[in-house]
Amino acid sequence: MRAAFVIASLESAAGPYPSDWLPVAMLVLIAVVFAVGTLALSAMVGRSRRGPVKDSPYEAGVVPVGDARRRFHVRYYVIAMVFLLFDVEVVLLFPWAVLFNADRSGFLLAEMFVFLAILAVGYVYAWRKGVLRFD
Amino acid sequence: MSDTSLILAIPALPLIAAALIGALGPRVFRGQSHWVAIAALVGSFVAAVTTLAHGHAYSGSLYTWFAAGSLSVDLAWRYDPLTAIMLFTVTLVSLLVVIYSRGYMRGERGYTRFFAYMCLFVFSMCTLVLADNFAVLFLGWEGVGLCSYLLIGYFYERPAAAAAAKKAFIVTRIGDLGLMIGVLLIYATFDTLSISRVLGRVEPYPLGLSLPNHTLSWVSVLLLCGAAGKSGQLLLHVWLPDAMEGPSPVSALIHAATMVTAGVYLVARTQPIFHFGGVLPVVATVGCATAFFAATIAVVQVDIKRILAFSTISQLGYMFLGVGAFNVNAAIFHLFTHAFFKALLFLAAGAVMHAMADVIDLRKMGGLWRKLPLTTGVFLCGCLALAGIPGFAGYFSKDEIIGTIFLQSNPPHPAWLVIGGAAILTAGLTAFYTFRLFMRVFTGPEVLPEETHGHVHPAGVWMSAPMIVLAIGSVVAGWFGSMVHHVLDGDAIGPLSFAWPRYEQPFEVLVAIVTTVLAVGGALLAVILYGPLRNWTLNAGLERTFIYKLLWNKYYFDEIYNLLIVRPLRAVGRLFVRVDDDGIDNALVGVTWAPRGLGLLLQRAQRGSLGGYAFTFVIGAALIGAAIAWVKW
Amino acid sequence: MNHYAVNLVLALLPEIALLAGGMLIVLLLATQSTAEGDCATTHRRAAWAALFTVFAAAMLLQLGPRVSPDELRPPAPQSHLLAASQPAGVVMLGPPVLALDGTTRAVRWAAIFMGVLLIGGNFGCPENVTSRLKMAGRGSPEFFMLLLFSLAGLMLVASANDLIVLFLAIELTSLPTVVAVVLSRPRHGAIEAGGKYFFLSALSVAFLLLGLAYVYGATGTTSLERITSMTAYGWAGAKGPIGLVAVSLVVAGLAFNIAAFPYHVYLADVYQGAAAPVSGWLAFVAKAAGFVALAKVLVAVAGPVRMFDLGWVGEPVWQRFIAGLAVATMLASNVLALRQRSVKRMLAYSSVAHSGYILVALLVVPEPGETLPIVAMFYLVGYGLANLGAFLTLSAANPDDSREADTFDDLRGLARRKMPLAVAMAIFGFSLMGLPITVGFMGKVFVFVGAYRAGFAWLVVVALINSAIGVAYYLRMVASCWLDVLDPASDDPSPVGRGSQGETAAPPRPTPSLVIAVLAVLTVGFGLLPAGLFRPMASERTVREILHPAPPPAPPRRPPLASAPARP
């Protein structure tokens, strides 16, 4: 068992990766190109039409009222944050569903229920703390 | 009572007393705390005398404290001639000083605290001299250092006292570092920290048969660092004069009679290592130089206690000289007599301060013998002993040391001749400054400082009695030389495993005569200059000379250290704080060589301090990468 | 395959217990709404629940089933490459995500041990606390659930054998600390400290993640076991460019957790803003997690490699770098600590200095079955004890009872006002200094002796010099308490009266006297009997190895000393 596993390791030891700075440089390059490139691309490709309506914050047509730098109720932030948390955590359901197979159904199902239980506890806590109340 | 419990009682009693006073003092004992301390120290003294009279040398172990690897540290003690003499001296002087303190410290704030510290000190000192393990010795060594720190800073509301305490601690700490590394090196070399075992490994060589061993040389030099720090030897002596900010009993006990001799004790204890390391001549040179330089400084100072402090440094130099000149017995004998007369001088100086409303500037007083006859009498005894006037304690022990120097080789090596000459000259200087002090303070027309408002507190019986005992000791201690040597040679309690080579106690007639003449001459010169010629204008002219200024400023050691060590350290610290606290902004301002555009760009990005931290993080990652690439792991 | 899942659960029972206990406390808190309810009761219930949970975890750790490492190997996914050569009936097993070795054992016990003390440090809740004060965080029972999560994270770090598990465990350890810092309101600067801490921790986590990604990119696996065996078989990646970038980024990310130079800049702000138990928590849990993870990654990517039972193979090539990092850390922090006016900031920089000493401990040759040398854990726990004690004492040493002591001046006269606290402070100070008969001294002895034997004598000397510098500022802290002690026996009769007046005002949080006393006793107790701390953390063999070593086989003596006959 151990021997097989060692062989598997050796296999990847002689991997196809060049042992010089090329991969590092490539990654840096990709990062820069991606960051600068997307901005540059949209600036180049997109047509720039300027006008009072286009320059307003919401292009959907909602007309902003009042000063943008006014104080919001603190609950706004709390609710936004709670929404974000649960939103992101629930995303885990998708890869789980993709990997789900009948071979390990019991194990995977139990895992997901544990995960959902943890989420539920957090939800109950937030709820009882009055986070969701907006009055 | 068995030997073991008797010996262990010597350190244990003061420890118990310290704990009792510390815990119950402020609530229960209050103004009577001194009784606890006195009772404990009487017990310790009796135990020390009993073991000295009836005991025999042996070593034992309480329990194994810890072991790490092959390093095993036992709480082991070793009772042998050297320890016996040290214990006798320490317990006797500390007992007398504590009795004196009852009178001197009366009414001071923190009365109980004082006695708790004193008992803690005696415990640490006894641990130090009893230890048979370098780790335990180091424990005692740090313990006495801590007590010294606490007691120098006793009047902590005085900034000078607080600063002196800190200075003492830091300077001795430099020496301690040497000691610590030396002890580690001992462990590395011998694979044990037991003093007995280490000496057992070194000692079997007859004197003079082996060549200097390099490791042992390094060990010796490092140990010497520690010893020099503790005993105020040259280059590390700057803390001792400042330590006089502590109460006078503290100066008498810790900074004259006992703690400062710990360095001498350490070198004496490990003398075989020094010998085979070939470092003994260095010890002698350091001692001689210290003795001479400190004596010259003492000649011009005007603060009574500081004169005595420089005198202590000088006398400790003699002791180092004695050990360095292969005559440990003479050095320990001098340590023994010095404890009496120097403790006496400090106590008497304390009595003067007590009477003069804490003024210690000798220019402000004179002719005190009329007001303080008893103090004058005991001070004179101390002066005669310190000056080495024949018949008094200091004469015998000092003469032995100086005599030894000229026996080093036949015919004497030129270097030894120079050292011997300096030592003899120092004897003359010693007599001169001692009597200068005495004449200016006690004789002549009566002058009282303004602070006293004409009223002089005489010393009470609590203060007088210990001074009288010590005065008698200062006169007669020298006559017991043969007894001390008897003990040190191992004839009384037997050597444990190792005895120093016996010297026929040297008495070089020629050397003795020269020394005596110089000492008496120096004393007479001082008597004449500051007696009949008191108002002679010579002094006024002297103060403008270069030598006088040099001596007055103690060879500018403090200033040099300040310039070379303290200031650069402060500057580095300030630099670090600036880089750290003000974030990257100031650092960028400092980095003027960086391209200006880049600098501006970065500065714009890093305005807030959070940004500054984040920037530091990014730079840090680059630094770590560079470091890894540089050291190739 | 379901055996594998069961084994995983069995192996992680203590961690699961801690997490479950934390969830329980969340539910408990949920039953109390903000508006009404007695805060003190909730706080006490949460504290008891946390204590019970930790004891349960300890019981599970002691009595729970032992799972052998091979039982933790998951079945490998079908490999098409190897399928042909695979004999029938042999199930291929992949590398395990958990490795339960000596370090795991040590860290788990240390976490439980410190967990009890940390809970104790926050046990008291002021009576008559209003809900407004509770909102302000004075009696925040959330502390306990966060602490339990964090402790579970630390334990998981110690058992992780996979980069992903390791990363998640580190996050589980450090995220709760961020919340706890913010919960330290209304302390001046808590919000600011929490904010800074959060952003910087996010930044460093980005470094760490990128570094781990590079490790994966260079090796093609996230299993530490596989990476280790690749290193053993001479994989040069760690010495090449990718390895360089990978390790630099990982070290940079973890240096934040252990607050090594130059990632120490944030610490002073955070310590100053956080409550005392939180500072004690940060100093132990976050640091321990960082060191364990650092040791794991460095050993995996660069050796030395423990080949089955053959002992250590190869040189740990990262030693020189870690030694340099230790020197920089010790020097920078000590110089900074010397110049602080605030005791808490001083303690923060001293905490960095202790990180430097523990970096020295990384160079100690580990016993078999350890990643992080046991002496490093000993040092960490010893430091954690004294540090927590010092912070708790500070929080109780308030001069006017309206806030915690912060500057050195605030400590003045503590011996007069509260003598036992001053004694405790002296003990903690001496332990941090490394003076004998304290656990701090023993820690330094073990670490320095170990490093010396590993061949780093120069580093030991540097560390000793630094401990000598350290004495200066710790002594200032200890001495401040004893200044201005007025003696009742002296002429001034007032001090006792003044002291008792100060105590009449209601303290904001009850003094955790019991815990301070326990910490002081342990600090001295482990200093006298270090075996007491080693015994639960290490196996019998290791303890024997460290504490009762066989006398070394007569080392070669120096010629002039050895040749002479012993004196009869």
Render pLDDT for B198-225 as a digit per residue (tens, 0 to 9).
887 776 555 544 555 678 888 889 999 8
Would residue A62 count as lying in a domain?
Answer: no
Do the Cβ atoms of C176 and C154 come closer than 8 Å?
A: no
Q: State the pLDDT confidence band at B450, using cuts at 50, 70 and 90.
A: confident
**What letter would DSSP give residue C124?**
-
pLDDT digits (tens, 9 = 90+) for C81-106: 555 555 555 566 777 888 888 888 88
Would residue C446 count as lying in a domain?
Answer: yes
Record: contact C217-A8, CB cut-off 8 A:
no
Would residue C39 count as lying in a domain?
Answer: yes
Determine the distance in angstroms separating the CA of A94 from the nearest CA of chain C, rounded to an integer: 19
- Give the nearest chain C residue to B608 (CA atoms): C196
pLDDT at C255: 92
Record: contact C461-B31, CB cut-off 8 A:
no
C36, with CB counted inside 10 A (0-12, 13-18, 19+), is: exposed
Q: Tell me the chain B residues in contact with residue C450 when contact means C-beta distances shorter than 8 Å.
A: 68-69
Task: Indicate which of C209, C239, C251, C265 best probes the interface with B, i.e. most B CBs within 10 Å of its own CB.
Answer: C265
Would residue A22 count as lying in a domain?
Answer: yes
Do the Cβ atoms of C208 and C283 come closer than 8 Å?
A: no
Q: Tell me the chain C residues in contact with residue B112 when contact means C-beta distances shorter than 8 Å.
A: 487, 489
- Give the nearest chain B residue to C241 (CA atoms): B629
pLDDT digits (tens, 9 = 90+) for B501-511: 555 555 567 77
**Rounded to two decimals, what is the model's pTM?**
0.69
Do the Cβ atoms of B522 and B430 come closer than 8 Å?
A: yes
β-pairing, C312-313 vs C305-306, is: antiparallel
Determine the distance in angstroms separating the CA of C100 from the nearest CA of chain A, rounded to an integer: 18
Residues A83, A43 share a domain: no
Residues A7, A50 share a domain: yes
* A126, two tokens: 């937030």
pLDDT digits (tens, 9 = 90+) for B561-618: 777 777 776 776 666 665 555 544 444 444 433 344 444 444 444 344 677 777 778 8
Sign of CA dihedral B462, B465, B468, B474: negative
**What letter would DSSP give residue B153?**
G
Residues A115, A81 share a domain: yes
* Number of domains observed in the structure of chain A: 2
Residues A78, A124 share a domain: yes
Record: contact C465-B188, CB cut-off 8 A:
no
Cα separation, C318 vs C331, whole angstroms: 20
Do the Cβ atoms of C25 and C145 come closer than 8 Å?
A: yes
Task: Indicate which of C333, C490, C500 best probes the interface with B, i.e. most B CBs within 10 Å of its own CB.
Answer: C490
Cβ neighbors of B561 (< 8 A, separation 6 or more) are B238
**What letter would DSSP give residue C484?**
T
Domain that holds residue A123: 74-129
Helix ranges (DSSP H) in C80-101: 80-83
Would residue A97 count as lying in a domain?
Answer: yes
Helix ranges (DSSP H) in C100-240: 102-121, 131-135, 142-159, 163-183, 190-219, 224-232
**What letter would DSSP give residue A66?**
S
Determine the distance in angstroms separating the CA of C515 from the nearest CA of chain B, rounded to an integer: 21
Cα separation, B515 vs B512, whole angstroms: 5
Q: What is the 3-state secondary structure (H, E, C) of C310-356?
A: CCEECCCCCHHHHHHHHHHHHHHHHHHHHCCCEHHHHHHHHHHHHHH
Would residue C107 count as lying in a domain?
Answer: yes
| SS3 state of residue C438 | coil
Record: contact A24-C30, CB cut-off 8 A:
no
pLDDT digits (tens, 9 = 90+) for B293-346: 899 888 888 888 889 999 999 999 999 998 888 888 888 899 999 999 999 999
pLDDT at B579: 55
Would residue C77 count as lying in a domain?
Answer: no
Q: Tell me the chain C residues in contact with residue A8 when contact means C-beta distances shorter than 8 Å.
A: 79, 82, 226
Per-residue pLDDT tens digits of chain C, which is 568 residues long: 467 778 888 889 999 999 999 999 988 888 775 544 566 777 888 889 999 999 999 999 888 788 877 778 877 665 555 555 555 555 667 778 888 888 888 899 999 999 999 998 887 765 444 444 444 444 578 889 999 999 999 999 999 999 999 999 999 999 999 988 888 765 567 777 888 888 889 999 999 999 999 888 888 888 888 888 787 776 655 567 777 888 889 999 999 999 888 888 788 888 887 888 888 899 999 999 999 999 998 888 876 655 544 445 555 567 888 898 999 899 888 877 877 778 888 898 899 999 999 999 988 877 777 788 888 999 999 999 999 999 888 887 766 655 666 777 778 778 777 778 888 999 999 999 988 888 999 899 889 988 888 888 889 989 988 888 888 888 888 888 876 544 443 333 333 333 333 333 334 556 678 888 899 999 988 888 887 888 777 776 666 666 655 544 444 444 443 333 444 3
Record: contact C196-B580, CB cut-off 8 A:
no
| C456 vs A: CB within 8 A | no
Between chain C and chain B, are at least 3 CB pairs below 8 A? yes
Do the Cβ atoms of A89 and A119 come closer than 8 Å?
A: yes
pLDDT digits (tens, 9 = 90+) for A94-131: 888 887 877 777 878 888 899 999 889 988 888 887 77
Cα separation, B570 vs A133, whole angstroms: 57
Cα separation, B274 vs B279, whole angstroms: 5
Residues A90, A44 share a domain: no
Task: Indicate which of C144, C235, C248, C309 best probes the interface with A, i.e. most A CBs within 10 Å of its own CB.
Answer: C235
Do the Cβ atoms of B117 and B151 come closer than 8 Å?
A: yes
How many residues make up chain B in this entry? Answer: 633
* Helix, strand, coil % over all residues of chain A, rounded to 5: 65, 0, 35
pLDDT digits (tens, 9 = 90+) for B2-39: 677 888 888 999 999 988 888 776 777 777 888 889 99
Q: Report whether the peptide linkage leading into residue C262 is cis, meaning its omega lies within 30 degrees of zero.
A: yes
Record: contact B617-C317, CB cut-off 8 A:
no
- Give the nearest chain A residue to C235 (CA atoms): A13
Between chain C and chain A, are at least 3 CB pairs below 8 A? yes
pLDDT digits (tens, 9 = 90+) for C288-316: 999 999 999 888 887 665 554 444 555 55
Beta-bridge mates of residue C342: C407
* B92, two tokens: 């006797």
Would residue C263 count as lying in a domain?
Answer: yes
Record: contact A12-C233, CB cut-off 8 A:
no
Query: What subunits make at least 3 CB pairs under 8 angstroms with A?
Result: C
Would residue C173 count as lying in a domain?
Answer: yes
Determine the distance in angstroms separating the CA of C33 from the nearest CA of chain A, rounded to an integer: 6
Do the Cβ atoms of B76 and B62 come closer than 8 Å?
A: yes
Give the end-to-end CA distance of chain C in Å, rounded to a whole number: 72
Report DSSP letters for C500-516, one per residue: HHHHHSPPSS---HHHH
Do the Cβ atoms of C231 and C300 come closer than 8 Å?
A: yes
ipTM over 0.85: no
* B499, two tokens: 């005895």
Task: Indicate which of B34, B180, B624 best probes the interface with C, i.e. most C CBs within 10 Å of its own CB.
Answer: B624
Would residue C563 count as lying in a domain?
Answer: no
Record: contact A20-C240, CB cut-off 8 A:
yes
Would residue C87 count as lying in a domain?
Answer: no
Report DSSP letters for C359-412, one per residue: HHHTTSPPPTT-SS-HHHHHHHHHHHHHHHHHHHHHHH--SSSSS---BHHHHT
**What letter would DSSP give residue B244?**
G
- Across the interface, of C195, C203, C472, the residue whose CB is closest to B614 is C203
Q: State the pLDDT confidence band at A6, using cuts at 50, 70 and 90.
A: very low
- Of the candidates B568, B591, B622, the one whose C-alpha atom is nearest the C-alpha of residue C335 is B568
Neighbours of B445 (CB within 10 A): 8
- Give the nearest chain A residue to C34 (CA atoms): A129
Do the Cβ atoms of B518 and B425 come closer than 8 Å?
A: yes
pLDDT at C176: 92
- Across the interface, of A1, A122, A130, the residue whose CB is closest to C33 is A130
- Of the candidates C305, C264, C213, C238, the one whose C-alpha atom is nearest the C-alpha of residue B629 is C238
Domain that holds residue C375: 3-68+96-489+508-547
Which residue type is seen at C224? L
Q: Tell me the chain C residues in contact with residue A15 when contact means C-beta distances shorter than 8 Å.
A: 219-220
Backbone conformation region of residue C434, classed left if phi is above 0, alpha if psi is from -120 to 50, else beta: left
pLDDT digits (tens, 9 = 90+) for B386-399: 988 888 888 888 88
pLDDT at C506: 38
* Number of domains observed in the structure of chain C: 1
Query: What subunits make at least 3 CB pairs under 8 angstroms with C?
Result: A, B
pLDDT at A88: 87
- Across the interface, of B70, B110, B180, the residue whose CB is closest to C464 is B180
B167, with CB counted inside 10 A (0-12, 13-18, 19+), is: buried
Q: Above 50 in pLDDT, residue B529?
A: yes
Record: contact B26-C489, CB cut-off 8 A:
yes
Q: State the pLDDT confidence band at B544, using cuts at 50, 70 and 90.
A: low
Task: Indicate which of C191, C210, C321 best probes the interface with B, i.e. most B CBs within 10 Å of its own CB.
Answer: C321
Determine the distance in angstroms separating the CA of C537 from the nearest CA of chain A, rounded to an integer: 29
Placement of tokens 């706080």 in the chain: C43
Determine the distance in angstroms separating the CA of C486 from the nearest CA of chain B, rounded to an integer: 6
Most distant CA atoms of chain A, gap in Å: 72
- Give the nearest chain C residue to B137 (CA atoms): C436
